[in-house]
Amino acid sequence: MAPEFSKPLAARPTSIPGVVLYDLPIHGDNRGWFKENWQRSKMSALGLPDFGPVQNNISFNEKAGTTRGIHAEPWDKFISVATGRIFGAWVDLREGPSFGTVFTAEMGPDTAIFIPRGVGNAFQTLEDNTAYTYLVNDHWSAGAQGQYTFLNLADETAAIRWPIPLEQAELSDKDKAHPRLGDVVPMAPKKILVLGADGQLGKALRAEYDGDPRVEFASRADFDLTDPASFADRNWKDYTAVINAAAYTAVDAAETPEGRAAAWAINAQAAARLARAAVEHRLTLVQVSSDYVFDGTAQVHVEGEPVSPLGVYGQSKAAGDAAVFTVPAHYIVRTSWVIGEGSNFVKTMASLAARGIAPSVVDDQIGRLTFAEDLAAGIRHLLETGAPYGTYNLTNTGPAVSWAEIAREVFRLCGAAPESVTGVSTAEYFAGKDGVAPRPLLSTLDLGKLEGTGFVPAEAVKRLESYLQRLGEDS
């Protein structure tokens, strides 16, 4: 059957999520025909993910009735017919509610189909000398077959209506022996890898994703960001996204020779290695940034403000952000004054209040607290909603306040006298002390872009109340 000429390029969604059938323009005359089988910019404009193909395979089938499949491979495929005609059958073999969903279609040179990882692919040739082509985004190897998921061509549940009955078709012995749907182990989805899983944010991410098998957590013992071997030994094909919750945050220690090296190794060099892995393996990379990338002269910091870090910590974070910015699929989540499980300012003030100590606290550094639970929830929101990639500010909401005002509120909530907290300037507080890092005085981050995605963090004062209540219950 001759292909249909001059049909416009079009996408047709199917019953299987992520599987899309494409009409391809064919240009022909008395000599034959020509088509653009794969055209990245045009396909992307139609919504096909830029899945990064690396290998092109062709299956030649001499006789009509040749039947192959059903195989679900651990990579994405763009499938078309070079010559001849086929009856295609696809079965969703991924974990999830669409497991077992079937889609079938006849295809010739004027159609193509995108099959995501984990969807079983099969076809039966309807003409002699049919060539079936695969454009895939991972390199085939004999070892990769161990990651396949198979379904029997004659499965009664899928109930595929093969144009040529299977008993009359040409099948391989292996395909005849594949399991029925009830015995198929679904292909598990790719995972999210959380690095720095034992820090304040890492622990909050553990709580946020508690019980979710799609998320893997790695502490420094599991993945040392300063060791290149950690990157080389990781099978990045198993992941779809990486959340980098690890950081060197000892602001003052970063000004020492040892601390400077450590800050740059973790905050900058490790971020650059992660960025390279993300680009090479088409991962989404989430990088947690800091208000310290600014000099603190703007009343409110927006995402597009040029960075101007004052000290080593801020400089190393800004360098890491610059590396991550090169990743096509990235979220740089800029935050400030993080409070979570572990040592932090609020816990220190609560302890002083309980012991009747009257502290001096700086009153000219202005910003908002960020509770780790909201930071974790915001990161999850960006990933799960598919928010546009880029930089987002994320803190709790409410008025911008000073550290001294926060300390007084902690004292009040703990039943101590707020007036026992004395406000002092940053210069006064650090007078006579060596090795002190410069700090941005104004750290308020604009939240409009984040809120535009549908995520509005809780008010800082409400989170402070519940946090102190939990502290009291645990003490």
- Residues serving a catalytic function are 71, 134
The terminus-to-terminus CA distance of the chain in angstroms comes to 79
Q: Beta-carbon neighbour count of residue 75 at 10 Å?
A: 21
- 243 forms beta bridges with 194, 286
Q: Which two tokens stand for residue 373?
A: 């639970």
Q: Over the Cα atoms of the chain, what is R_g?
A: 28
Residue pair 46/22 in contact (Cβ under 8 Å)? The answer is yes
Cβ contacts of 227 within 8 Å, gap of 6 or more: none
CB-count exposure of residue 189 (10 Å: 0-12, 13-18, 19+): middle
Q: How far apart, in Å, are the Cα atoms of 30 and each of 8, 27, 298, 416, 459?
A: 21, 11, 69, 92, 71
Judged by phi (left if over 0) then psi (alpha if -120 to 50, else beta), residue 44 lies in alpha
What are phi and psi for residue 134, nearest 5 degrees?
Answer: -125, 125
d(CA 313, CA 384): 30
Cβ contacts of 50 within 8 Å, gap of 6 or more: 40, 44
**Dihedral sign (CA 36, 42, 47, 48):** positive
What is the DSSP code string of 290-350?
A: EGGGS-S-SSSB-TTSPP---SHHHHHHHHHHHHHTTSSSEEEEEE-SEE-SSS-HHHHHH
d(CA 351, CA 346): 9
Q: Which two tokens stand for residue 31?
A: 């000599």
